[in-house]
Amino acid sequence: MRVGFILRRILRLPPEVRKLELLKGGCKVGGMKLVLTISALCLCLTGTPIRAKDLPFEIVKTPAVEGSLAPNLCPFGDHFVLSWIERDGNRSAGMRVASWNGKAFDKARTVATSKQMFANWADIPSVIQAPSGDLYAHWLDRISSKSYAYGIRVSRSTDRGKSWKQMGWLHDDESPTEHGFVSFVPEGKLVRAFWLDGRAMAKKGGKMMLRTAVLDGNKIKAERVLDDDVCTCCPTSAAQLAAGPVVVYRDRSPKEIRDISFTRRMDEGWTKPGIVHADNWFFPGCPVNGSSIATHGNLVAISRYTVVNNKAQVILRLSQNGQIKSGRDIVLDKKQPVGRCTTVCTKNAVITVWIGHEGEQTVLRLAQVSPDGKLVRSATLAPIDGTRSSGMPRAVVSGGYLWVSWTDANRVRLGRVKIGNQTLKRESDK
């Protein structure tokens, strides 16, 4: 039976049934199961044909149920772990994880359940695999009944995520202020954590800080301040360089300039915070729109959402040997994107995903850049809600695919696209 005929049969279904069936991943027509890519979904829901060559994005079913949110992706051996939050009818929420085994997801496990869990679209839980093989996970728990009074809980698994044991608060402070936006990175045989810490804001005139600590087995130690005045609610991102870890974050100057800064650990200690690039974005508030860093060998890639001359942009900074300040900027999107970047590196490519626009539609965008800074390919992956309901897209490379997570239609979504081939449209072909 021809696909076109099947799609016409689907289009005759009532709209609500058609959408439900498509979001499940396929339809049975005349006893035949039709598995749809996002391009077919767009055709059926909007009537707008999109060539498969331009949109080779496949939706993958996950264990996440309706009402799930805050997905994240973490490398795990040769594959990855998907984490997310689920709410139940008893006003409690749970952090859930499931590992991809190369063909399907293994059984979903619960890291923690709490009636005080802070479930948020931007400040999302995460998982990291330590060099020892142990897994660490973080999530947020309320400290008091105040709106943004929450802290960071940490759990550890020594059996590949089958069971989890709570370690307590990541920070040595339990003031009723905001603690969140965590980034993890391996450091030697340990794991280093970075987060935004609002304990100083308990007093009038206090500032948000960037702090760090080390996870060593079942101990949390060596907590310290890295920057004592940063943007209050933009995600952080961290990576490992040969000399030590580096973290990028949105800074805040006394004149309310909100550019991206970084600090890195050297043999002699932590460097003084430095600006990735002086965009001079004046913004007297928090845009909830951070940066993303990825490394491969000596290559460092940092994507950032920023505003230059009153125009929103997504920009990728490439540098070698940790020389971040002297790197090269590549503008990926200057068409008033929403932002929320996530970047990954392979040996031959730097891939960034963000929320942008195609015409009047808000979409997930992808750009692939070569290590020497050439824009090789770009594509629209999928329609996406431009509001907070879509959350923070996250990406990981595994099994020859780029995997991307986000939230849509009140449920965690996961998609994948082949990388390292010609399935994405080349810029020169446009």
- Whether 24 shows a pLDDT value over 60: the answer reads no
Domain ranges of the chain: 1-66, 67-229, 237-389
Q: How far is 381 from 371, CA to CA, in rounded Å?
A: 22
- What CATH class is the domain 237-389? mainly beta
The DSSP secondary-structure symbol of 78 reads T
Q: How far is 198 from 149, CA to CA, in rounded Å?
A: 9
Describe the chain by its helix, strand, coil percentages, rounded to 5. Answer: 10, 50, 40
- Whether 312 shows a pLDDT value over 70: the answer reads yes
The two structure tokens encoding residue 4: 């076109």
Are 405 and 355 within 8 A, CB to CB?
A: no
Residue in the block written with tokens 């608060």: 169
Average pLDDT, the chain: 88
- Whether 32 shows a pLDDT value over 80: the answer reads no
Give strand ranges (E) for 115-149: 126-129, 135-142
The two structure tokens encoding residue 17: 């049934």
- Whether 171 shows a pLDDT value over 90: the answer reads yes
Nearest CA-CA partner of 136 in 160, 112, 157: 157
pTM for the whole thing? 0.87
- Whether 52 shows a pLDDT value over 80: the answer reads no
Q: How far is 181 from 197, CA to CA, in rounded Å?
A: 9
CA 345 to chain centroid: 14
Buried b (16+ CB within 10 A) or exposed e, 359-391: eeebbbbbbbbebeeebbbbbbbbbbebeeebb
Are 238 and 185 within 8 A, CB to CB?
A: yes
- Whether 11 shows a pLDDT value over 60: the answer reads no
Residue of 420 and 289 predicted with greater confidence: 289
Residue of 319 and 9 predicted with greater confidence: 319
Q: How far is 190 from 406, CA to CA, in rounded Å?
A: 29
pLDDT grade for 5, boundaries at 50, 70 and 90:
very low
The two structure tokens encoding residue 377: 């390919």
The two structure tokens encoding residue 205: 């005139």
How many C-beta atoms lie closer than 10 Å to residue 326's C-beta?
8
Average pLDDT over residues 68-92: 94
Strand partners, 367: 352, 378
Handedness of CA 7, 12, 15, 20 (dihedral sign): negative
The helix/strand/coil state of 16 is helix
Range with the poorest average pLDDT among 42-56, 90-104, 141-155, 293-307: 42-56
The helix/strand/coil state of 20 is helix
Taking each helix axis as running N to C, give the angle between helix 38-46 and helix 3-11, from 0 to 180 degrees, rounded to the nearest 10.
40
- Given the DSSP bridges, would you call strands 291-296 and 299-308 parallel, antiparallel or unpaired? antiparallel
CA angle, 294 as apex, 292 and 299 as ends, to 5°?
135
Residue in the block written with tokens 């969140």: 180
Q: Return the percentage of the chain with pLDDT > 90, whole number.
A: 81
Look at residue 420 in the predicted model and tell me its pLDDT: 64
**Integer angstrom CA distances of residue 268 from 192, 225, 244, 264, 271:** 17, 16, 11, 11, 9
Look at residue 409 in the predicted model and tell me its pLDDT: 87
Residue of 47 and 230 predicted with greater confidence: 230
Look at residue 37 in the predicted model and tell me its pLDDT: 44
Look at residue 223 in the predicted model and tell me its pLDDT: 98
The helix/strand/coil state of 10 is helix
- Whether 427 shows a pLDDT value over 90: the answer reads no
- Whether 23 shows a pLDDT value over 70: the answer reads no
Which pLDDT tens digit goes with each residue over 264-300? 999 999 999 999 999 999 999 999 999 999 999 999 9
Q: Which fold has domain 67-229?
A: Neuraminidase (2.120.10)
The DSSP secondary-structure symbol of 53 reads T
Handedness of CA 114, 118, 124, 130 (dihedral sign): negative
Average pLDDT over residues 402-414: 96
- Whether 134 shows a pLDDT value over 50: the answer reads yes
- Whether 41 shows a pLDDT value over 70: the answer reads no
